[in-house]
Amino acid sequence: MTVHLLKLCVGIDSVEHLIEVRKGREQTLPDGRPYNYHITRFAPKRAEEVLDGGALYWVIKGFILVRQPIIGFEEVKTDNGTKCKIILDTGLVRTESQPRRPHQGWRYLEPADAPRDLPEGQRADDLPKALRRDLQELGLI
């Protein structure tokens, strides 16, 4: 059974900003596929479930707006001990906007609780900013 991960995207202002930051960070797997990665403190105990079609859902400015499919996990040594490298597909999939409160680290996200993907080319932030903010405060988007 698939499960996803949920992570705050600290220091990122928008999906476009995330795309810009990710440029130039691509690496290549042994099979030639490009990937991005994110280093986190702990590896998920439910890694097999995450690798069964799971994705990393990014919370940007208090809202889930995008996800990246997870390809794998790798243990990495750092100056601060052993960490977990989350290996991510380079493609970003925009999702419906879903409010989330801040948390530390990552959290599991059950598929039933995950926002739906948006149709290609559609953005969750297509509304005027003031209207969008008002609707978000009311919990309507």
pLDDT averaged over 10-residue windows placed end to end, the chain, 141 residues: 96 93 87 94 96 97 96 94 96 93 94 92 64 78 65
Query: In which domain, by residue range, is 128 found?
Result: 4-137
pTM comes to 0.84
State the DSSP H helix or E strand holding residue 23, giving kind and residue range, or none if neither: none
Question: How many domains does the structure of the chain reveal?
Answer: 1
Inter-CA distances, 67 with 43, 76, 92, 93, 115, Å? 19, 23, 6, 5, 10
